[in-house]
Structure 1
């Protein structure tokens, strides 16, 4: 696994390089110290994953991530930060980041990188527990303006609860293939990338999830 590390604290970068390369199968291809370096180094090195801080001088990690993903939508970005701000979480997910974890939990970094490499989205427990707060922010969106049917809205609510395709299929008496088709159609209509962005979209609509 080839990883690009970007953090404005050079000691953190050096520590991360030591931790990651001790795994044997992880190579830190380069280290950068601000968002502009992240953009340039990503283009040059084409890493499997970009592990990046958020608050940095000159250009933030969020600004850098947005530029990188506009140029290369398949880029895998994992944010590693000390900040648990709602705005940062929503922006990171909204721009298409694959994960958001806290620096305080160094033991979670390698497992998170491996999960992202396998195509998973990784958000720490602290992030997940913030989602109900995000739910209450802003007014309620009318999904009908996006051309969503009542069934699609129902399925979206179940995705937001964290149910898998199999669990949704059982709940709605559908096949898993039909659920996948519905999900693809919803993502296309809303111009979203994945289930995580869909859940955040639902939370931001101001709706309250029924347990």
Structure 2
């Protein structure tokens, strides 16, 4: 598995490279220290996984991830941060990154990379706890809905949204048309009184962890 590591602290980059390359099937194919390094490096190397810091000088890892995903919709990006900032978590969910972990939680990084590689979306325990602060207070009543208030198909769609899949990916995996997927998402937003796909993902993780 080819991995690219981007962090503005060379000590962190070196430590991550050392940790990752203990795994016989992991190769750190490139490193960088800025958002621009991440974008340029991804274009050149197109790694299987991009492991990237968020705060890196003037431009954040969030901005870099957004740019990369716009060019490479199937990019697998796992963000690392020391900051439990609800706004960062919201933005990460919104653009479709595949994971968001606290940087100090080194033991979780390798399992997280393997999970992302297998198609899962990964959020550390502290991140999931922080999700509870993101939904606006007037929207929290929607979380009172129990799983049996949604149909099996609605839960299928909700799970795919929470995994960060776009409409095309959901349609392909569930053998539906993109129009049908859009309709289901609109119905879910209305049924749960939520605003957007980000809040759908947050709703799923709140139910999952209750």
TM-score of the aligned structures, taking structure 1 as reference length: 0.71
**1: CA distance between counterparts of 2:139 and 2:101?**
28
Q: Is the 8 A contact 2:80 2:100 kept in 1?
A: yes
Please give the per-residue CA displacement for 1:9-32, whole angstroms capped at 9, x wherever unaligned. 011001101110011110000110
**2: CA distance between counterparts of 1:203 and 1:48?**
24
Structure 1 112/151 Cα, relative in aligned 2: closer, same or farther at 3 Å? closer
Structure 1 121/97 Cα, relative in aligned 2: closer, same or farther at 3 Å? same
Please give the per-residue CA displacement for 1:110-135, whole angstroms capped at 9, x wherever unaligned. 00001001111000111111222222
Question: When the two structures are aligned, how many residues end up with a matched partner?
Answer: 177
**2: CA distance between counterparts of 1:50 and 1:60?**
14
Name 2:198's counterpart in structure 1: 200
* 2:132 alignment partner, SS class: helix
Q: Is the 8 A contact 1:65 1:77 kept in 2?
A: yes
1:3 matches 2:3:
yes
The residue correspondences of 1:115-194 to structure 2 (distance < 5 A) are: 115-137=115-137, 155=154, 159=158, 180=174, 187-189=181-183, 190=185
Q: List alignment gaps of at least 5 residues for structure 1.
A: 141-149, 164-179, 192-197
Name 2:57's counterpart in structure 1: 57
TM-score of the aligned structures, taking structure 2 as reference length: 0.72
Larger radius of gyration: 1
**2: CA distance between counterparts of 1:204 and 1:111?**
22
Q: Is the 8 A contact 1:156 1:199 kept in 2?
A: no
**1: CA distance between counterparts of 2:66 and 2:56?**
15
Please give the per-residue CA displacement for 1:107-158, whole angstroms capped at 9, x wherever unaligned. 0000000100111100011111122222235769xxxxxxxxx967x93699
Structure 1 101/204 Cα, relative in aligned 2: closer, same or farther at 3 Å? closer
The residue correspondences of 1:1-80 to structure 2 (distance < 5 A) are: 1-80=1-80
Name 2:145's counterpart in structure 1: none
Please give the per-residue CA displacement for 1:53-88, whole angstroms capped at 9, x wherever unaligned. 000113210000000000010000000111110000
Please give the per-residue CA displacement for 1:24-57, whole angstroms capped at 9, x wherever unaligned. 1100001100001100000001100000000011
The alpha-carbon deviation at position 184 of structure 1 amounts to: 6.9
Structure 1 156/38 Cα, relative in aligned 2: closer, same or farther at 3 Å? same
Structure 1 183/84 Cα, relative in aligned 2: closer, same or farther at 3 Å? farther
* 1:30 alignment partner, SS class: strand
